[in-house]
Chains A and B, each alone.
Chain A
Amino acid sequence: MSPLVGGLQKTTNYKVVLPFYIYASLGFLLGSLLLLFTTDAVGAHHFNPQTLAVTHTMALAWGTMIIFGASHQLLPVLVEGKLDSDRLAYLTFGFTAVGIPILIYGFYEFDMGWPMQAGAILINIGVICYLANVIGSSFKKNKRSVHAWYVITATLWLFATTFFGLLLVLNFRTPILPGNSVDYLSIHAHLGIVGWFVLMVIGVGSRLIPMFLISKYTNEKMLWCVFALLNLALIAFSVLYLVTSSPALLYIPIIMGLVAIVLFGRHCYLAYKARIRKSVDQQVKTSLISVAQMLLPFVALIAALAFLPNGQFPRIAMLYGFCIFFGWITAIILGMTFKTMPFIIWNKVYHNKAHQGRTPAPKELFNDDVYKIMLYSYLAGFIIFIIGIIVLNAIVLKIGALALLIAAILYVYNVMIAASHKSKL
């Protein structure tokens, strides 16, 4: 038995992390509001100002900003070292926080000029700061865990996504790519969805879900297998999309991705089975639901390729995007926010007050009843909106969007409750 040299992994300063969480919560609120007011766009092709504005709000202001916040907090856990630079983290926040609303404004107004270009440039600078921080943190040690490689690779794909996005924006005004920007949208979207979100969520989730379940289950080989499948699927998709006109070949990367998701689902299930704590809290349950939700976009995608006549494809594309951004990305964030953020607040408020009296548990730092109502409202909104897309009914779509907006308001309320928590000792 030998003492651990150097002791514990040091946690990241809460001042670095909290702005991302608060910003992202407002991003979710904005995304839900935009969805409510742009339901008319559901029947149209996905390349329209409203849909692009909603998509980028959900992808950047919501999904990416909260992943930035959580990953700055979790990097010490994932790379088994300290965060390289608080300053780079502040710069990441500064550039992206300014760039994202400018870009969204550009999309909403469909102004390909300075708003879109300035927004894209600022976001890219923010992403470069984040990439430098991830690499700086990860390469302090000689050995990196599989989780660290997920984070590094996901961040590289994020940079590929935002840089390619910038090229697409510039290409609208000055042709710098061989084709029209619209032709490359699928590649841009999947670099972000698979390369950034899926890899990051699996990399982080595969460590956090067993940790929060207090499960000793681990299977590094399987995680490497998922890692290889996802990266190969993404590369294969991008190459096939560019060089072949046969949709049948696209089944290859889709099936690879599907196998990867199923393997990750199995990993979570085995961790769940091997858990030490019998009862599972709502937040972890929500995250586990999101793993199942990861399969829905595949169903939509395969349906789009195989079964539907061309005329219905735009709605299926909308269903696909909705299942990703308002589905599994949102569900895992709703769950993980209230597993990670209370720890940050708890450490901020009670770290130096240990043994001065009974400290509240992290889960007592937000309102659990509000959380439950938020979850029900979210699930109802998600299902109703999907029905609305399928039957293309304006009222059903509005009801679904309204339920999602209520969920977003309750989410923001709980985030603010936790963020403003004061010591009770």
Chain B
Amino acid sequence: MDVKTNNSEKCDYALQDLYNVYDPEIGLNIVDLGLIYEIYFDDIDKKLTCIMTLTTQFCPMGDAITTDTRNSLTQSFPDWEITINLVFDPAWSFSMLSPDGRAYLGR
């Protein structure tokens, strides 16, 4: 699933680090899992907004995954204000997996 953004270059840079954020239960990174929906950059105020989801709203690892995502983005953009917006509409589904993600899950 393509991540929506207003700055492709910065988004690619952010995603490079987000490929290292894993769902500990599934063992797959959150980008291939399709958990990252949108990343927006406000260059003037140096604000980054990441809109993401979880495989289920009741994911016991949800807190750890969002913390890890925030830490990752802070590492990529140290002087920026990072906001994580967790959404469940649309809910995560199989169609959001990347081809690599599908292959990892044996699908």
Contacts and interface: CB of A to CB of B under 8 A. Distances in A.
Nearest to A7: B86
Contacts of B57: 4, 8-9
Given A4-B88, A276-B107, A277-B106, A347 B58 contact: no
A11 B37 contact: no
A346 B61 contact: yes
Interface stretch (A245-253, A354-362, A416-424): A354-362
B99 interface: no
B56 A211 contact: yes
A263 B39 CA distance: 43
> What bracket does the count of chain B residues touching chain A fall in?
35 or more
A143 interface: no
A347 B106 contact: no
Interface in A1-52: 1-4, 7-11
A217 B57 CA distance: 15
Interface in B61-94: 61-68, 71-72, 75, 85-90, 93-94
Nearest to A281: B25
Chain A interface size, under 10 / 10 to 19 / 20 to 34 / 35 or more? 20 to 34
A2 to B, nearest CB: 6
A347 B105 contact: no
Contacts of A355: 20-21, 67-68, 71-72, 75
Nearest to A274: B94
B85 A11 contact: no
Given A4-B88, A7-B86, A355-B72, A214 B64 contact: no
Given A4-B88, A8-B86, A354-B67, A214 B60 contact: no
SS class, residues of chain B in contact with chain A: loop
Nearest to A354: B68
Given A10-B63, A355-B72, A80 B58 contact: yes
A350 interface: yes
A8 B71 contact: no
A351 interface: yes
B51 interface: yes
Contact of A2 (B60, B64, B89): B89
A354 B58 contact: no
Contacts of B54: 8
Contact of A4 (B37, B64, B75, B86): B86
A3 B105 contact: no
Interface string A344-381: 00110011101100010110000000000000000000
Interface string A258-280: 00000000000000000011110
Nearest to A363: B25
Given A10-B63, A80-B58, A354-B71, 10 more contacts: A1-B37, A1-B89, A1-B90, A2-B89, A3-B86, A3-B87, A4-B57, A276-B97, A347-B64, A355-B21
7 contacts: A4-B88, A9-B57, A11-B60, A214-B26, A347-B60, A352-B67, A355-B20
Interface of A: 1-4, 7-11, 76-77, 80, 207, 211, 214, 216, 276-279, 343, 346-347, 350-352, 354-355, 359, 361-362
